[in-house]
Amino acid sequence: MADHDSGSKKPATQVVTGGRRKNWTGAVVNPPVWRGSTHLYDDVAHLREGLKSNDDGRFFYGRRGSPTQWSLAAALTEMEPGAAGTMLYPSGVAAISCSLLAVLKPGDEILLTDSSYDPSRSFADAFLKRMGITARYYDPLIGAEIADLFSPATRAILMESPGSLTFEVQDVPAICEAASAAGIVTLLDNTWATSHFFPALEKGVDIAITAATKYIVGHSDVMMGAVTTHGKYWTRLRRTAQQLGQVVSPDDAYLAARGLRTLDVRLRQHEASALKMAHWLKERPEVGLVLHPALPDCPGHDIWKRDFKGASGLFSFELADGDDQTRAAFIDALELFGIGYSWGGFESLALPVDPKKHRTATQWQQKGPLVRLNIGLEHPDDLIADLAKAFEHYHSVQS
Ligand SMILES: *Cc1c(COP(=O)(O)O)cnc(C)c1O
């Protein structure tokens, strides 16, 4: 079989063929796990040759990876038309912090969405602040009007669409257009959709960040982050990661690549099951808003329809007349839904979430408490039965 040129193929094919170059896989399907800190050279001339160029895809030193990591990175790059390369990090948070460190310097200002993943916020408010970088927050529904917030010091925008906990869908193309006209670099936390449902670079994003821990790995057993960018920022991103000593183990890269092969079918099932659950919840008398980008309740729903190729399995809903205690009783009564943070796996999860305390540029006005659901790959009928039973319990504890 010849090496694949996945560039022109459909995304479902790309996740199957991506990165599986013959010189990396050998005679087997998956690239083997190459464990190694020391890379051995044939002779001194070969050693000196290695120092001359700093490229991926060649042995140099353990931190620069092996065919196991190169193959995964190449597969992720192929999912983003226009990309120059992908760096891998030991977690999604490392991917976010290292991308920001690659583009910011003391005196700069960064704009972040008010719906940011909380660790992104705390990195900006604590770590970046200490470096003399100012963080300001914007309304996730701001669109092109973000230009009104630009100051001469504004250097970067960190978007997240849909937003964490509350799922507002942002007008990413409009924000990127305004930023690009002002020479501001755009970064997107694309964990919810992945490049499979939202090829970010095509939408104008400079630096696309994914917590691969979630859907790429897909089995709740590996932590990893990935950042894909085009030619303008690639060298800087890569050098910063090298300078900070970022590396992922070949064992983890192997598992992430294995997860990636089934991304298309998993995401489609997560999408179908989560939609079924969201529509069912919307009909329940106990439920207020259903914050699922494919439902009209969700702020930015029209933008989701315009820009996304699909929806994944994570969304929130409001218990209209609930409080903290009855919400806890509801969640505790669920049997198929685990209680935990890290989503994107095959198992369903339920989590109490409270966006109010994470806001500074906007206010979260909704009265009822929110429950965030990760819809896994169990049969949706069983999940619905579980939710129905938990609602019965919820009524029994309501005064
Ligand atoms: C989980 C998550 C991250 C962080 O990923 P980790 O691998 O857990 O560090 C970043 N962004 C979003 C939106 C996430 O949900």
pLDDT at position 1, please?
42
Q: CATH code at 303? A: 3.90.1150.10
| 305 noted as active-site residue | no
- State the pTM of this model: 0.96
- Please check whether residue 242 lies inside any domain of the structure: yes
Q: 326: domain range?
A: 264-398
Q: Which of 171, 174, 211 is nearest to 189 (CA)?
A: 211
Spatial distance between the Cα atoms of 354 and 230, rounded to a whole number of angstroms: 36
Question: Which parts of the chain register pLDDT below 70?
Answer: 1-7
Indicate if 339 and 241 belong to the same structural domain: no
Looking at the structure, tell me whether residues 198 and 61 fall in a common domain.
yes
Are residues 272 and 196 part of one domain? no
What pLDDT does 241 receive?
97
Catalytic residue among 22, 48, 58, 63: 63
Residues 355 and 296 in one domain: yes
Q: Where is the domain boundary, 260, 291, 316?
A: 260
Please check whether residues 218 and 274 belong to one and the same domain.
Answer: no
| Alpha carbon of 30 to ligand 1 centroid (Å) | 26
Asked whether residue 249 falls in the same domain as residue 300, the answer is no
Let me know whether 208 and 276 are in one domain: no
The per-residue pLDDT for 5 is 54
Residue whose CB lies within 8 A of the most ligand 1 atoms, among 89, 91, 213, for a mutation test: 213
Q: Are residues 158 and 290 in the same domain?
A: no
- For residue 177, is it within any domain? yes
Determine, yes or no, domain membership for 146. yes
What pLDDT is attached to residue 7?
56
**358-370 as b/e: b if 16+ CB within 10 A:** beebbeeebebbb
Query: Which of these is catalytic: 121, 155, 214, 327?
Result: 214
- Tell me if the bond preceding 369 is cis, omega within 30° of 0: no
Give whole-number Cα distances, 41 to 54, 63, 283, in Å: 16, 16, 66
Domain CATH number, residue 45:
3.40.640.10
- The verdict on 287 and 393 lying in the same domain is yes
> Is residue 1 domain-resident?
no
Residue 86 and residue 208 in one domain: yes
Q: Both 218 and 275 in a single domain?
A: no
Query: Does 51 map to a domain?
Result: yes
Pocket of ligand 1 (CB under 6 A): 91-93, 117, 160, 164, 189, 191, 211, 213-214, 223, 225, 342
Centre of ligand 1 from the C-alpha of residue 92, in Å: 5
Same domain, 214 and 307: no
Q: Which of 280, 275, 262, 261 is nearest to 311 (CA)?
A: 275
- Of 205, 237, 260, the residue that ends a domain is 260
Tally helices (H) and strands (E) across the chain. 15, 12
CB 142 within 8 A of CB 172: no
Residue 315 lies in a domain: yes
- 340 domain residue, yes or no: yes
Number of domains, the chain: 2
Known catalytic membership, residue 63 = yes
Examine the fold and report which residue of 228, 260, 292 is the final residue of a domain before the chain moves on.
Answer: 260
In a domain, 311, yes or no: yes
Distance from Cα 222 to the centre of ligand 1, integer Å: 12
